[in-house]
Amino acid sequence: MVFMVSAEAAEGDFSLNAALVGYSMDYREYDDNSQILDSEKSDFTQMIGVDLGMTYTLNAAINDYAQLDVSLLLLAGETDYAGAYLESGGGYGSVVSRSNNTVMNFDADYLYGLALSKKLYLLGAAAFGYREWERTLSKDQVEVYSWFYVEPKLGLKYLFQKSSLSGIVGYKYGIDPVMSATGFQDDFQLGGANTFNISLKYSYELDLRSELFFSYVYENQVIDKSNIVYGSDGKGYLEPDSEANNQYLKIGALFKY
């Protein structure tokens, strides 16, 4: 669940936002035969955090508008782990536990809205960001996934009475994705880390300076297997292919000044 306080400004103005975020994770790793190796799952109450941001409006005209946005997302909580010990011979689910996780995502984007009619806007954006996920499987096994990304976005926004409804799709292309792990001097160079996402948002205007909103975000994240890295025991290891289907819920208010 997300509670957000924000502001959409007139031309040349700043806006600030702060949010409480609820995050649902469904992460799975696979071997080369597409058999599941382990998983991490949580509901919206197990991982929560804050989302802080700022918006600067470059242009606000009758037929279009443009703005710069920066945001910082911080999440923490537990997930339900299912997997197996390495080389134990046990199958998926032979080991179950709770994992501690933190997620950090920084995003900066340029958004442009073009009026197709009095009520309908075409939205386009380009973003640059950084994502980091720290996965603590035990006190002796900590993994950190991190990468930069670029993201084109495209969407629509519809206005009716005091409300608006918008939908945006985006694709984050990961740059230099790596995973570091306890006990390994070298990082695992991941083959890729790309994310497709869809966001839906409904806003209701209370007055000229404030709004209520409801938002939902779905993302499909695919991480390709890494190179082989040798541990202190002299054996070679790799990070397998993985896929995550994650969701965010947001409920909040906007404040304009």
List the CATH number of the domain containing 42.
2.40.128.100
**Can you tell me the mean pLDDT for 144-167?**
96
Per-residue model confidence (pLDDT) at position 88: 62
Q: Cα-flanking dihedrals φ and ψ of residue 170, to 5°? A: -145, 160
Q: Which domain holds residue 225?
A: 3-255
Residues 150-177 have a mean pLDDT of: 96
For residues 194 and 157, is the Cβ–Cβ distance under 8 A? no
Report residue 186 CA to chain centroid gap. Answer: 26
Q: With a cut of 70, say whether residue 151 has pLDDT above it.
A: yes
DSSP-assigned letter for residue 119: S
Tens of pLDDT, residue by residue over 65-84, are 999 999 999 999 999 999 88
Burial class (CB in 10 A: 0-12, 13-18, 19+), 25: buried
Is pLDDT larger for residue 5 or for residue 252? 252
pLDDT digits (tens, 9 = 90+) for 28-62: 999 999 999 999 999 999 999 999 988 888 887 77
Question: Does the pLDDT value for residue 3 go beyond 50?
Answer: no
The answer to whether the CB of 193 falls within 8 A of the CB of 177 is yes
Residue indicated by tokens 């997300």 = 2
User: pLDDT value at position 252?
Assistant: 85
Q: State the average pLDDT for the chain.
A: 90
pTM of the model: 0.90
The C-alpha atoms of residue 155 and residue 123 are separated, in whole angstroms, by 5
Q: Evaluate whether 106 touches 71 at the Cβ level (below 8 Å).
A: yes
Average pLDDT of the residues in 83-106? 85
pLDDT above 70 covers a percentage of the chain that reads 94
Domain count, the chain: 1
Structure tokens given for 168: 């945006």
Spatial distance between the Cα atoms of 132 and 144, rounded to a whole number of angstroms: 7
Residue 220 binned pLDDT confidence (cut-offs 50, 70, 90): very high
Q: Are 171 and 126 in contact (CB under 8 A)?
A: no
Over residues 71-98, mean pLDDT: 86
